[in-house]
Structure 1
Amino acid sequence: MKRLIDLFRNKYFIAIAAFAVWMLFFDKNDIIAQYEYSVQVKKLQQEKDFYTKEIALVKKDLKELDSNLNSAEKFAREKYFMKKANEDVFVIVREEAKK
């Protein structure tokens, strides 16, 4: 018991303990902030991956549109529901299964 009391009275132990408490709980970059930064980095990485895939798809579509005029007409009909003057377009929307 005497050794424990002597340890708590040691000025180096008190300084290190105070520094550790300050860095873990009161500093601008404490443990909670580091966790929030980690979550934010993971979210941004997922967004980056999503947009990278989307960019690849758009580049593929653009390359296809530049190479063939028939594919441009098909693309306009499918994506933007464009039609010729004497045509009617029917859009069928399927409902997703409710869980």
Structure 2
Amino acid sequence: MILAKAAGSYTETAIDDEIVVMSLASGDFFSLTGTARDIWLRIDGTTDRESLVAGLASDYGVSAEVIGADVDDFVAQLRGAGLLAAG
């Protein structure tokens, strides 16, 4: 499954090593640092879950199974907040 941000549903700004994302529908803010920031940056509308997990596993030196569970949890949170496109 290709992961894509829901265009027009958020605004974001980078501050040092943090990305602050605001949901335009709810006004909720999300502070993304560390792996959350890395996941957000890799969600580009062309990358699928498996490629994202493989890249993070390599970068962080952990197994795909370990990082995959974290990715799935975070992606579910993004979907729940309406920040990802359906698909």
Smaller-chain TM-score range?
A: under 0.3
Q: Between Structure 1 and Structure 2, whose CA radius of gyration is higher?
A: 1
When the two structures are superposed, what TM-score results if normalisation uses the length of structure 2?
Answer: 0.25
Structure with greater strand share of residues: 2
When the two structures are superposed, what TM-score results if normalisation uses the length of structure 1?
Answer: 0.23
Higher relative contact order (CA 8 A, sep 6+): 2
Structure with greater helix share of residues: 1
